[in-house]
Amino acid sequence: MDRKKSILITGGAGFIGSHVVRRFVNRYPTYLVVNADKLTYAGNLENLVDVDTAENYVFERLDIQDAASVSDVFSKHNITDVIHLAAESHVDRSIQGPLEFVKTNVLGTVNLLEAARMHWKSESDHVFHHVSTDEVYGSLGPDGFFTEDTPYDPRSPYSASKAASDHFVSAYYHTFQLPVKRSNCSNNYGSHHFPEKLIPLMINNILMERELPVYGAGLNVRDWLWVEDHAAAIDTIFHDGIIGESYNVGGLNEWTNIDLVHKLCDLMDEKLGRTQGHSRALIRFVKDRAGHDQRYAIDARKIEETLGWKPSITFEEGLARTIDWYLTNPEWMKNVTSGEYLAYYDKTYR
């Protein structure tokens, strides 16, 4: 078959990456999807069992810190486009050990940019889409939203590394005319989400009847978006976004952590046939995260008005689907919480 594109999707075995890979494999049979992933603790090929035999899908185990291997993958698959998601993604781990965040998120991104610059000599269409976070903008007070023009003000080692990678992506556009696009998204939730992050951690602990650790007073605010709506936004930006521009992606869906944890407790008690209040009794207010950003909230008018993207489902629907997925996939949770998870958990919460 004549391939129209050969797309390198980095981090495709992770949470968001697996949804992006699944979407592109299923919707674009004329594209070859090359999923390149190191398979860290957060990468899991079980996330892709439904597409891994597809004729337009291939997996490459790749550490993006290794420039020579990155270049080899570009040559081997004649890569025409990149959607870059591979990263160390968890704020608490970045506080425990910032260096790996610099190596993967900064150096790894520059290795990919450099490979694209070296391999894309022709005039043909290429896209290098960097998937980033709203955390690069810092922390909001009670009012206002992040727009694409909000100055960068990263405050955690994670967000500093993502801000640095965003800046390198822009630098390659301005200096070398590399055809880049960027997106900065708010907090995602959905299936296949590793249980170090708030929502899957709470779902798992409620199921196991373990304590529910809420940082500080639980009054920090996050803006939650269903992961499949983020994957749809990436698809839209990748195909229709303007080269050199960035797009904020979010669901206008702000929750304090404590309200969200209460909601999860009540929904799960209902689904599990437990008496209301049973899971709320597991909540423990624990020591606050160092440098904890107070509030994130996205103004997504640019992507909505110029590219016609908007979230497809409500938070109620998305949370119900998410909880149902975890209830029907206990093996997935069992597998990802074996290995290093318990050591990480003890280090973080005891």
Cα–Cα distance, 332 to 194 (Å, whole number): 10
Cα–Cα distance, 193 to 96 (Å, whole number): 21
User: Which is nearest to 189 in space by CA: 147, 146, 223, 139?
Assistant: 223
Quote the least distance from Cβ 115 to ligand TYD, whole Å.
28
Cα–Cα distance, 349 to 164 (Å, whole number): 29
Task: Select the residue interacting with ligand NAD from 23, 45, 65, 236 (CB under 6 A).
Answer: 65
Tell me if 333 contacts ligand NAD by CB under 6 A. no
Task: Identify which of residues 133 and 279 has a Cβ nearer to ligand NAD in the complex.
Answer: 133
Tell me if 17 contacts ligand NAD by CB under 6 A. yes
- Give, as ranges, the residues between 70 and 99 that touch ligand TYD (CB under 6 A): 91
- Count of residues interacting with ligand TYD (CB under 6 A): 12
Quote the least distance from Cβ 277 to ligand NAD, whole Å.
29
Tell me if 43 contacts ligand NAD by CB under 6 A. yes
Q: Sign of the CA dihedral 19, 160, 37, 238?
A: positive
Cα–Cα distance, 186 to 199 (Å, whole number): 14
**Of 37, 81, 88, 134, catalytic:** 134
Quote the least distance from Cβ 213 to ligand TYD, whole Å.
4
Task: Identify which of residues 115 and 279 has a Cβ nearer to ligand NAD in the complex.
Answer: 115
Angle, helices 108-119/67-77, rounded to nearest 10 degrees:
40
Tell me if 222 contacts ligand TYD by CB under 6 A. yes
Quote the least distance from Cβ 189 to ligand NAD, whole Å.
8
Length of the chain: 350
Task: Please enumerate in sequence order all residues whose Cβ is within 8 A of that of 262, keeping only pairs 6 or more positions apart, or say none.
Answer: 280
Quote the least distance from Cβ 97 to ligand NAD, whole Å.
13
Kindly tell me the burial class for residue 236, based on how many C-beta atoms sit within 10 Å of its own C-beta (0-12, 13-18, 19 or more): middle
Quote the least distance from Cβ 198 to ligand TYD, whole Å.
4
Contact 18, 47 (CB under 8 A): yes
**Of 88, 135, 229, 293, catalytic:** 135
Task: Select the residue interacting with ligand TYD from 169, 198, 225, 237 (CB under 6 A).
Answer: 198
- Specify the residue for token string 């749809």: 232
Cα–Cα distance, 30 to 300 (Å, whole number): 30
- Count of residues interacting with ligand NAD (CB under 6 A): 32
Tell me if 63 contacts ligand NAD by CB under 6 A. yes
DSSP state of 288: P
Task: Identify which of residues 213 and 241 has a Cβ nearer to ligand TYD in the complex.
Answer: 213
Task: Please enumerate in sequence order all residues whose Cβ is within 8 A of that of 350, keeping only pairs 6 or more positions apart, or say none.
Answer: none
Task: Select the residue interacting with ligand NAD from 5, 22, 38, 77 (CB under 6 A).
Answer: 38
Q: Which of the listed partners (ligand TYD, ligand NAD, none) does 83 bind, with a CB threshold of 5 to 8 Å by partner kind?
A: none
Beta strands (DSSP E) in the chain are 5-10, 31-37, 57-61, 81-84, 127-133, 180-185, 187-189, 212-215, 221-226, 246-249, 254-256, 283-286
Q: Which of the listed partners (ligand TYD, ligand NAD, none) does 257 bind, with a CB threshold of 5 to 8 Å by partner kind?
A: ligand TYD
DSSP state of 191: T
Binding mask 93-132 for ligand NAD (x = CB under 6 A): -----------x---x----------------------xx
- The reply to whether 135 belongs to the active site is yes
Query: 3-state class of 339 per DSSP?
Result: coil
Which residue ranges make up the site for ligand TYD (CB under 6 A)?
91, 187, 197-198, 201, 213-215, 220, 222, 257, 289
Which residue ranges make up the site for ligand NAD (CB under 6 A)?
10-11, 13-17, 37-40, 42-43, 62-65, 85-89, 104, 108, 131-133, 162, 185, 187-188, 194
Q: Which residues have a catalytic role annotated?
A: 134-135, 158
